[in-house]
Amino acid sequence: MSLPINPETKVSALLEAYPELESTLIECAPAFAKLKNPILRRTVARVATLEQAARIGGFSVRDLVRRLRQAAGQSGPETCFGEETPPEAAAPDWLRPEKIRSRFDADAMLAAGEHPIGRIRRSVSSLEPGEIVELVSSFRPEPLLETFRRAGCLVHSEEIAPGRHATYISRRA
């Protein structure tokens, strides 16, 4: 049986089952070209769902899944869609520039062969309540956002310029 393509499908599972869909992902949003990076492919793609990938690329999850299903020759009811969570809008009250204790550039780290999650985790774990870690990247790091939300951290991400995102993570005060 073939892998069903839905918003919860992991990007790595999709590309393992349908390697030819990599070009469709890249056509949908240029940010998906980053999946050619072996570090991202081994790490982020293993935990990122298509719903998260759609948000990273600024693409509707419905449209992305529909295009991928069509390219894979799948059809069927579209009852698998949950609510899409829009990116955060206004900066939250806890986000104050003077509270930023560490800054990281995800693109530079990835280019150097290092995945940011380890350094970000260590930095967040050393924060005092209310202090903030800032991560700047060329994509919205959905899997990282979810990881820290589940850990009980305060998380905010925003596009600060076309193709540039700032993500802020704080320990609750």
Domains of the chain, by residue range, sit at 11-72, 97-170
Q: What is the CATH number of domain 97-170?
A: 3.30.110
Token output for 84: 């899409």
Q: What is the pLDDT along the chain (173 residues), one digit of tens a residue?
A: 478 888 788 888 888 899 898 888 888 767 778 778 887 777 777 778 887 777 777 777 788 888 888 888 876 544 334 333 344 457 888 999 999 999 999 889 888 888 888 899 999 999 999 999 999 988 778 778 888 988 899 999 888 887 788 999 999 87
Q: How many helices (H) and strands (E) does the chain have?
A: 9, 4
CA dihedral 75, 67, 111, 144 (to 10 degrees): -70
Identify the burial level of 148 via C-beta atoms within 10 angstroms of its C-beta, where 0-12 means exposed, 13-18 middle and 19 or more buried. buried
Token output for 131: 């202090």
Identify the burial level of 15 via C-beta atoms within 10 angstroms of its C-beta, where 0-12 means exposed, 13-18 middle and 19 or more buried. middle
Question: Is the entire prediction scored with pTM above 0.85?
Answer: no
